[in-house]
């Protein structure tokens, strides 16, 4: 039975020290993202933490979604040279770290400090992710592993249908290569489980985010030899 380090860690959706400016009223600061937990919000003025009793967190009435908040100081801020930073927890769909995926790739540990490992279907899902996000030709020993998806980050979308077909083809190619490598690995006589073996590629769907068309979402569904379905989601940030 093979195993790997667990790389999937739940994202805290923390916006750390977001740099912002005081509005012209010398009293309010507008946050870029919605606030999920107001109790943990912290405001800094030129690196100094501002006591929470000096301001209120109120709704931004100019926002039609009613999600954006304002920091409203109880008195006008008198120092024109101060800059402001705000730390707060936002909602998953607005998080710039995980881009709505709710998980980030990082090594995690248990309560004893031991590295967490994964097997079976979780291992299959992580391998699907590795083959997806690895830049093709980046591994000098296995140049065929990976995709060209990272190269699309920051590109402009001039032909959305072409980009969608390109991403779909790249993902299909790398998963088929992964399946071939697994078969070769199994022929060496090493013990593997049905849960970690890729049986079929069921669906690859690429869509544009309804709220932000510069974000492409790819949903991948595969089935393990155990018969269990594994789903994986990857986001790409491009430009119109």
The HSE-up count of residue 151 (CA atoms within 13 Å, CB side) is 11
Task: Give the DSSP letter string of 140-158.
Answer: TT-TTSSBSGGGGTT-B-S
* pLDDT tens sequence across 160-212: 888 889 999 999 999 999 999 999 888 888 788 999 999 999 999 999 887 77
Dihedral pair phi/psi, residue 135, rounded to 5°: -75, 125
Q: How many CB atoms lie within 10 A of CB 224?
A: 21
Q: How far apart are CA 230 and CA 222, in angstroms?
A: 5
SS3 state at 131: helix
Which positions ≥6 away from 170 have C-beta within 8 Å?
A: 147, 148, 149
The HSE-up count of residue 57 (CA atoms within 13 Å, CB side) is 18
pLDDT at 70 over 60: yes
Q: Rounded mean pLDDT of 79-89?
A: 92
Q: How far apart are CA 82 and CA 45, in angstroms?
A: 6
Provide the β-strand partners of residue 147. 135
* pLDDT tens sequence across 111-170: 676 656 778 998 898 889 888 988 888 878 778 888 888 777 666 777 888 888 999 999
Q: Supply 4's token pair.
A: 């790997």
User: Which of 143, 126, 152 is closest to 177 using CA atoms?
Assistant: 143
Order of strands, sheet of 55-59, starting from the edge strand that comes earlier in the sequence: 28-30, 69-73, 55-59
**Dihedral angle at the C-alpha atoms of 35, 67, 43, 51, nearest 10 degrees?**
-90
């Amino acid at each position: 039975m093979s195993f790997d380090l667990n790389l999937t860690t739940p994202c805290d959706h923390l916006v750390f020290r977001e740099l912002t400016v005081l509005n012209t009223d010398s009293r309010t600061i507008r946050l870029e993202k919605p606030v999920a937990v107001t109790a943990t919000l912290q405001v800094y003025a030129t690196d100094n933490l501002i006591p929470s009793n000096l301001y209120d967190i109120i709704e931004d009435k100019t926002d039609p979604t009613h999600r954006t908040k304002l920091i409203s100081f109880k008195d006008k801020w008198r120092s024109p040279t101060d800059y402001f930073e705000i730390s707060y927890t936002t909602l998953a769909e607005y998080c710039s770290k995980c881009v709505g995926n709710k998980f980030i790739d990082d090594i995690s540990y248990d309560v004893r400090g031991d590295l967490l490992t994964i097997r079976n279907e979780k291992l299959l899902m992580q391998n699907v992710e590795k083959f997806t996000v690895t830049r093709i030709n980046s591994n000098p020993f296995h140049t065929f592993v990976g995709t060209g998806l990272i190269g699309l980050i920051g590109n402009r979308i001039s032909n959305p249908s072409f980009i969608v077909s390109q991403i779909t083809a790249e993902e299909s190619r790398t998963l088929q290569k992964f399946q071939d490598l697994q078969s070769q690995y199994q022929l060496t006589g090493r013990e593997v489980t049905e849960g970690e073996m890729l049986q079929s590629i069921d669906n690859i769907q690429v869509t544009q985010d309804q709220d932000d068309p510069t974000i492409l979402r790819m949903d991948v569904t595969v089935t393990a030899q155990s018969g269990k379905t594994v789903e994986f989601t990857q986001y790409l940030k491009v430009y119109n």
